[in-house]
Each structure stands twice: as C-alpha cells, then as structure tokens.
Amino acid sequence: MVDASEQYLFQGYSLPVYKTGVLIIGSGAASLSCAIHLHRMGCSKMLIVTDNRNGGTSRNTGSDKQTYYRQSDASHVPDSPYAMVESYIRGGATHGDIAFVEAQNSLRAFYNLVSLGMDFPHNRYGGYTGYKTDHDPSSRGISLGPYTSREMVRVLSAEVQRNGTPFWDQCDVVRLLTDENDQMVGAVILDKTKLYEENHGLSVILADHVVLGTGGPAGFYASSVYPRVHVGSIGLAMEIGAEAANLTESQFGIASIKFRWNLSGSYQQVLPRYYSTDREGNNPEDFLSPYFSSWEALTNAVFLKGYQWPFDAAKISDEGSSLIDLLVYQETQVKGRRVFMDFRENLTGKSEWSDFSKTCVASSALGYLQTSGAWAETPYKRLQLLNQAAIDMYASNHIDLSKEPLEIDVCAQHNNGGLAADIWWESTNIAHLYPIGEVNGSHGVSRPGGSALNAGQVGALRAAIRIMGYGTPMRSSLQACKMQINDLI
Ligand SMILES: Cc1cc2nc3c(=O)[nH]c(=O)nc-3n(C[C@H](O)[C@H](O)[C@H](O)COP(=O)(O)OP(=O)(O)OC[C@H]3O[C@@H](n4cnc5c(N)ncnc54)[C@H](O)[C@@H]3O)c2cc1C
C-alpha cells in the first residue's frame, strides 16, 4: 500500500510526494522474492518500483544449464552448511559470516521456490538430487535447463500479483534520499510514461526502508554476456556514499557476441576450431596450438572449458583450461583481432603434429564423447549427437552453426563485488538500505556456479526479516531530504 500523494513545490516544479513503509527497487528474482517474504510476514505498506517489468538479468538471461546452488539434501554424501561454506570461501574475497548465512538458508530459499511452483527435477521419493557445478566439490547444483532464472521470475511475479503488492512499471529511480544521519528516507523516481508532463514525470517516494535489487553493473562492460536490456544502477548507492566491497572482482568467460550466450558445456566438449582474423575477416590464424605442447594438452584444455567456464587465474598454468580465455583475450583486446569458434571444422594443431583425428583427442574428452554416443567427424556432428538443443538455441536466434562460425570474446557475466552489507543485507554505513541480489558484494572470487541466484534469494529473506524486526515507525520526513531533491532538480 502507498499513501495518497500530496503535491510539493521544488524549484518551481510541483511534484507528487508519496509515503510507504518499504520501497523495493527492481523486479528481478531478488526484489520480487523480498516482496513476497515481506507480505507473508505481514508487511502491508510496500511498493515495488521498476524501470522495466521485462528487464533485468534474471528475466533475460540463461546458459547451457543455468544452475541454482543449495545445500544438498538428497545425495548419498551427507552435506551441511559448514561444508558448504568451505566451498564459498575457498577463492577468497568472501565474508565468512555472510557466506555461512547463505549456506544455512539455502534450503529454505530453494524450497520457497519449489512451493511457488518451480518444477526442479526430483526423484520419485521427492529428493531433489543435484550435480557438480563450477568450483563445487559436492553435488549442490540443480537446474531447470537454460532458463532457470527466467522461471524464477515467472513464479515470483505471479505470487506478487496474487498478493496484490503495488507495482509501478516504467519508473526509473534516479536518486536515493537520506537524512542527516545517513539513514534512508526514500527516493526520487522518473515515470517514463509522463516525461512530457509539466514536472517531467518526477515524483518523490518517502519510505522507512529501501531494498535495492538493481542487479549487476552491466553497463560498465564493453565485452559482455549480460542481456542487452540490463544496465544496472549501483551508482545510485555510490552517490549517497554507500560502502562497497570487492568491486574489482568480476566474473568473465567465453561467450558469443552477436547473440549473447555463454559457450560452456557441450559447446566446448565437442572441440570446435578456434581461430582469429583481422578486423575485416581476413588473415585467419589458429592461435591456440602454439601455446600447447601436444594434441592431448590442447584437446584436454578445450574440453575442460566446458566444465570450467569462468576464467580462473589458478587454471592458467600447466596448460589449464583458463589459458584458452587468456589467449582469446590476447587476440581480441591486445592484438585487436576478431575471434571465432567454428563447429564445421576441427581444431588445427602445430605443423609438426599429425592431422586431427580420434587418436589425437585427450582420453578425458574422447571417453566422454564415446560414452555419450557423440563421437563423429566434425564438432557440428558431435554437437548434434550430444546436445541438439544447443544448436537449436542458436538457430532460434538466426545463427546456423552448420553454415557460419560464431564470433566470440571473453565477456563479463557477473560482478562478484558490489555494495557492502551485514549479515542482514543492510548496508554497512547507510541505515535502512538493503542491497540484495547481484548488487550486493558478497559473491567472492570463485564462488560455485549457481550461488548468485541463491545469494539473491537468501538476501531477500534476510532483509525482509530485518525490516519486520524494526517495526513500522513511518519516520521518513520530507524535511530531511528536501535539499537533495532541490539539488537534483
Ligand atoms: C549469461 C549469464 C548466465 C548466468 N548464469 C547463472 C547461473 O547459472 N547461476 C547463477 O546463480 N547465476 C547466474 N547468472 C547470474 C544471475 O543471473 C544474476 O546474478 C541474477 O539474475 C541477478 O538477479 P537480481 O535480482 O539481483 O537482478 P536483475 O535480475 O538484474 O534485476 C534487476 C532489476 O532492477 C531493475 N532496475 C535497475 N536499475 C533500476 C533503476 N534505476 N530504477 C528502477 N529499476 C531498476 C531492472 O529493471 C531489473 O528489474 C548468470 C548471469 C548471466 C549474465
């Protein structure tokens, strides 16, 4: 619920001023989940404001097997939050207590999604068995296929609609407002459907709590696999002096750039040809083989890239899989060339090596392809046998892998750093501001694949508990932030 507006004059412009208890910014998986928890806990005064109900990363992205990470409760091997937190903190740049809270609450968050209708694969006994994902020594990953986070947004949005939470679409938050004690008191929003009105669609929302679920800073990156519709708004919090953590820790990996899609899993396991050209597409060069000592080492590294998709500095030496990312980066960003993966042709070796054949392929890759019934002469045929859906994905985006190569780069996928917050996802220095989801800097250097989605769901729950714990004082006053609004206008 939102209180009816009153009009106030700011620099000669008449702006409506609304009041609510909790202002939730964004409509990604994290924000929607927070609204649902708040509603269940009895919060009646809240408002979701989003710049685009169809925007955001959760709704618009996917990958070969988009993963949700949670404590395993259906495997032969016993698991616990204590074991899980070890996986979280291994790579560094994590806060131990926060990682522990994410582990401890992961099952609650996961079963919330199940209860809202997410049909994760399970056995006949009701056990949600999982698989190993990146940086995961256990089997805590679970997936609905390429579009797990889109399905999350679908079920979460349906619940928000069912419970009648006010939802304002096409509204950009353009300024967060604080009082003299660095406490949140609200935000200024720009209604993009009212730009031509006298006040240009600006209004003020006073709120006791502000949940910021604006996602990763996608607009920062030149080479990116974030959906094009998503830009991010971490700057809103920076502008009011919110502390940040580990901002330099972004996650990168190989992705196609015409249609943005991670080239993980089967795309690498079928061992496509990698080559670069000049800007005009001439002078092709098979740039990988000079850096590998044998066919075995080269095919093993490309094959492993399927499992080890994110760039990881620890996997460069000894002809590791991240050497591939580094070599692609060298071609595109250092030499200014274009790089392609071509499924019509096999990898090319050094001149002194034999021609590519089955006997050249590392036993890891060959064993996998043969066991899967997917050995064939070309990467394209292998991909048809291994994962036809991977071909169809490109076909539905007007790219025929049997006829054209894929232009690729090492692309940003996730910011592991972000705003600093405590174990309740409340900002470390701006009271009543709750950065949740990707905008929160809790993610660490090499967290297991799928932990971003879990972090968003757990953060949403924790912020809701914290907000309800404060009670509903309705303390925000326009007086406290009038100057900031005048400055903006
Ligand atoms: C290619 C790819 C693959 C991925 N695969 C996985 C995976 O397998 N497992 C995993 O755990 N994670 C994965 N991730 C990461 C994960 O998808 C994201 O971290 C997560 O979806 C972010 O959710 P969010 O709710 O924080 O933000 P988003 O879903 O990005 O939502 C942000 C919302 O804020 C709104 N917004 C932004 N600025 C403003 C503003 N100024 N005013 C109003 N509204 C605003 C947006 O419109 C949007 O609604 C992947 C990411 C990518 C790009």
3-state per-residue secondary structure call for 185-219? EEEEEEECCCCCCCCCCEEEEEEEEEEECCCCCHH
Residues facing residue 46 across a β-bridge:
22
Atom 10 (ligand 1) nearest CA? 450
Residue 445 is predicted with a pLDDT of 87
Contact 476, 181 (CB under 8 A): no
What ligand 1 atom has the least distance to the C-alpha of 455? 11
pLDDT tens string 2-39: 666 788 888 888 999 999 999 999 999 999 999 999 99
Residue 488 is predicted with a pLDDT of 83
Model confidence at 266: pLDDT above 90: yes
- Classify domain 252-412 at the CATH topology level: Flavocytochrome C3; Chain A, domain 1 (3.90.700)
> Lowest-confidence range among 173-177, 276-280, 446-450?
446-450
Model confidence at 472: pLDDT above 70: no
CA atoms within 13 A on the CB side of 129: 7
Instruction: Give mean pLDDT, residues 411-425.
Output: 97
* Ligand 1 pocket, mutate which of 229, 453, 454 (most atoms under 8 A from CB): 453
Residue 449 is predicted with a pLDDT of 86
The domains of the chain are located at 3-249+417-488, 252-412
Instruction: Give mean pLDDT, residues 422-437.
Output: 98
DSSP-derived pairing of the beta strands 13-25 and 202-212: parallel
Instruction: Give mean pLDDT, residues 138-158.
Output: 94
pLDDT band at 128 (very low <50, low <70, confident <90, very high): very high
pLDDT tens string 347-371: 999 999 999 999 999 999 999 999 9
Residue 307 is predicted with a pLDDT of 86
Q: Say which residue, 331 or 307, is predicted with more confidence.
A: 331
Rg value, the chain, Cα: 24
Instruction: Give mean pLDDT, residues 390-401.
Output: 96
- The Cα 396–Cα 257 span in angstroms is 15
- Classify domain 3-249+417-488 at the CATH topology level: FAD/NAD(P)-binding domain (3.50.50)
Residue type, 156: L
Instruction: Give mean pLDDT, residues 291-306.
Output: 97
pLDDT band at 197 (very low <50, low <70, confident <90, very high): very high
- The Cα 358–Cα 345 span in angstroms is 14
Residue 340 is predicted with a pLDDT of 98
441 contact partners, CB below 8 Å, separation of at least 6: 244, 245, 246, 247, 415, 416, 417, 418, 419, 420, 421, 435
Give the residue among 304, 302, 301, 268 at the shortest CA–CA distance from 386. 268
Give the residue among 64, 68, 403 at the shortest CA–CA distance from 261. 64
Model confidence at 199: pLDDT above 70: yes
What ligand 1 atom has the least distance to the C-alpha of 63? 3
The helix or strand, by DSSP H or E, that contains position 252, with its residue range, turns out to be strand 250-256
Instruction: Compute the Cα dihedral for 369, 272, 335, 332 and give only its sign.
Output: negative
Residue 474 is predicted with a pLDDT of 64
Residue 478 is predicted with a pLDDT of 82
Residue 347 is predicted with a pLDDT of 97
What ligand 1 atom has the least distance to the C-alpha of 438? 26
What ligand 1 atom has the least distance to the C-alpha of 214? 34
Residue 473 is predicted with a pLDDT of 65
Residue 275 is predicted with a pLDDT of 98
Instruction: Give mean pLDDT, residues 371-387.
Output: 96
pLDDT tens string 321-331: 999 999 999 99
Mean pLDDT of the chain: 94
* CA 238–ligand 1 middle distance (angstroms): 19
Model confidence at 332: pLDDT above 80: yes
Instruction: Give mean pLDDT, residues 127-151.
Output: 87
Residue 149 is encoded by which pair of tokens? 């986070």
Instruction: Give mean pLDDT, residues 429-452.
Output: 94
**3-state secondary structure (DSSP) of residue 401:** coil
Residue 90 is predicted with a pLDDT of 86
- The Cα 188–Cα 482 span in angstroms is 11
Q: Say which residue, 478 or 211, is predicted with more confidence.
A: 211
Share of the chain above pLDDT 90, in %: 86
* Ligand 1 pocket, mutate which of 49, 438, 451 (most atoms under 8 A from CB): 438
Residue 1 is predicted with a pLDDT of 63
* CA 151–ligand 1 middle distance (angstroms): 13
Residue type, 201: G
- The Cα 21–Cα 38 span in angstroms is 11
